Structure 1
Amino acid sequence: MPDFAPEFCDVAVDGHVMTITLNRPERRNALHTDANHELGAVFDAFERNPELWIAVITGAGDKAFCAGADLVTAPSGGRPPVPESGFAGLVSRFNRRKPVIAAVNGMAMGGGFETALASDIVIAADTASFGLTEPRVGLAALGGGIQRVVEELGPKRAHALLLTGRKITAQDAHAMGIVAEVVPAGDLMATARRWADEIMECSPASIAATKAVVQSFDGHSVEHSMKDMFHLPEVRSLLTGPDAREGPTAFAQKRKPNWANPA
């Protein structure tokens, strides 16, 4: 848990899972300067806490996950509109060691879609919708949306979204491979928790190593990545750590493994 009381989101911890609920339903959970910086601090606390293994991010209400940047509320405090970790404290948070699941409960527009794209797994309610709509208000998807949509879809399909500001349904996003599962709205959070529980059956050290290899693979060949990955600290930590011994031992003894907390 963060060491302060969040104002613009609700934070709940259940076991090793932290759930962060964007809580500005009167603004369709659009984020202003203070909300972005608060979320940056919340995700900082999540990354620091070895007892927290997975984060789930969702939105309050049934209308919106996040409508993007709040274009109405004036900035306060003379701070930049987002922290170094980016919109929602997430989109520029590179080299994350822990998984983030986006449970998209409604519209995810602009920065809201970028927040989902920056997550590791996206689960969507069947009423959810997505769009990088910034060009329709004279802006552009400069929070990683352009790059991540191209990475996910390839340039031709990405251009079809990026150059039109088109909105797509949860079913469309699932067909494109952006969304892992579409479920009835009432089942969304239970489904996100099911995915979190499935991840937690795996070693946290293995998850950290896997994420590190995925991130280091960007822009490199398979051959380069396979040679380079053994220099990654997360991979070295996995191979020399207790989970690499506990996993085979538990398998041989036909019991569930007792994974070590991540460092």
Structure 2
Amino acid sequence: MDGVALRREGQGGHVAEIVLDRPEALNALSTAMARRLAAVCAEVAADPSARSVVLSAAGERAFCVGADLKERNAMGDAEILAQRPVFRAAFGAVLDLPQPVVAAVHGYALGGGCELALSCDVIVADGTAVFGLPEVGIGLVPGGGGTQLAVRRLGPGRAADLVLTGRRLAVAEAREYGLVDRSVPAGTAREEALAVAAAIAGNSPAAVRAAKRAMRLGAEGSLAAGLDIEDNAWRTLALSADRREGIAAFNDKRRPNWPS
């Protein structure tokens, strides 16, 4: 439906898989697809049974090659500006998911595709993956968070190298740069991403969401401010039903049955 599908996977259906499903266009983001992506993310964000998320893609050649430039070529200036809030909402919806998100990247992840991966918490890429932010080569800047997320993930020098040259990184160099967290053999990115997401989903949902929130908020300020955010999260969880169940399960030598 409009290029984005939603599935349920491992851990009793607690892993939500969002699939970019427009392989005939290398999963290029059209306006309709961006709207659908935002709507699916909103559905997942509101679902307490979804404990982790995998962002994957259909087809063999690409994760996502960014915005649909054929669609844009037929647009006038007013239409391009009208499309902008739709795209911002789509990228923001991925970035703001309260659950941890694992990207499963194969093939081309260029422009907005690279930015979608950068919006995730963990990036798994197989041997076919190629990353790049080539927007300066067509007279634009990355508009899905790339200028900001690349700096935060890679550091200013490597982000500048990637953004200002528009060059592409194969998976080995992307791993060296810190753009990829786990590299796996060709054809196994989705399998590995689902395994990572299942491991996350097996942990306390309340603790996992709080940890993600603390890391995201803490990265924006000073160490002292970040430690206060962490302390507030710890104090809230210390009084939670998940903490009581987790400790009881540890002592009983059984798997927790999380209340949250």
TM-score (norm 1): 0.88
Whole-angstrom distance in 1 between the partners of 2:252 and 2:86: 46
Whole-angstrom distance in 2 between the partners of 1:189 and 1:141: 26
Change (3 A) 1:13 1:30: same
Which string of whole-angstrom CA distances, capped at 9 and with x for unpartnered residues, describes residues 34-54 of structure 1?
110111000000001111111
236-245 or 20-29, larger mean C-alpha shift: 236-245
Over the aligned positions, Cα root-mean-square deviation in angstroms equals 2.2
Q: CA deviation at 1:85?
A: 7.5
Question: Residue 41 of structure 1 aligns to which amino acid in structure 2?
Answer: A
Which string of whole-angstrom CA distances, capped at 9 and with x for unpartnered residues, describes residues 120-146 of structure 1?
111111001000000111111122101
8 Å Cα contact 1:92-1:144 kept in structure 2: no
Alignment of 1:55-204 (within 5 A): 55-73=53-71, 74=74, 80-81=82-83, 83=85, 86=88, 89-91=90-92, 95-204=96-205
Which string of whole-angstrom CA distances, capped at 9 and with x for unpartnered residues, describes residues 163-200 of structure 1?
10000011111112221111123222211111012112
Change (3 A) 1:212 1:152: same
2:224 aligns with 223
SS at match of 2:70: coil
1:53 aligns with 51
Q: Does 1:9 align with 2:4?
A: yes
95-104 or 204-213, larger mean C-alpha shift: 95-104
SS at match of 2:207: helix
For these two proteins, the number of residue pairs brought into alignment is: 252
SS at match of 1:171: helix
8 Å Cα contact 1:100-1:119 kept in structure 2: yes
Which string of whole-angstrom CA distances, capped at 9 and with x for unpartnered residues, describes residues 89-117 of structure 1?
23465553201111012100000000000
Question: Residue 168 of structure 1 aligns to which amino acid in structure 2?
Answer: L
Question: Residue 137 of structure 1 aligns to which amino acid in structure 2?
Answer: I
Percent of pairs with identical residues: 38
2:207 aligns with 206
Whole-angstrom distance in 2 between the partners of 1:85 and 1:225: 30
Q: Which runs of 5+ in 2 are unaligned?
A: none
Whole-angstrom distance in 1 between the partners of 2:121 and 2:240: 24
8 Å Cα contact 2:31-2:86 kept in structure 1: no
SS at match of 2:221: coil
61-70 or 188-197, larger mean C-alpha shift: 188-197
SS at match of 1:29: coil
SS at match of 1:86: helix
Question: Residue 10 of structure 1 aligns to which amino acid in structure 2?
Answer: A
8 Å Cα contact 1:36-1:82 kept in structure 2: no
Change (3 A) 1:93 1:82: farther
1:3 aligns with none
Whole-angstrom distance in 2 between the partners of 1:207 and 1:172: 30
Q: Which runs of 5+ in 1 are unaligned?
A: 1-5
Q: Does 1:24 align with 2:26?
A: no
Whole-angstrom distance in 2 between the partners of 1:22 and 1:106: 13
SS at match of 1:46: helix
1:41 aligns with 39
Change (3 A) 1:126 1:225: same
Change (3 A) 1:22 1:94: closer
Question: Residue 2 of structure 2 aligns to which amino acid in structure 1?
Answer: E
Question: Residue 13 of structure 1 aligns to which amino acid in structure 2?
Answer: R
TM-score (norm 2): 0.89
- The structure where helix makes up a greater share of residues is 2
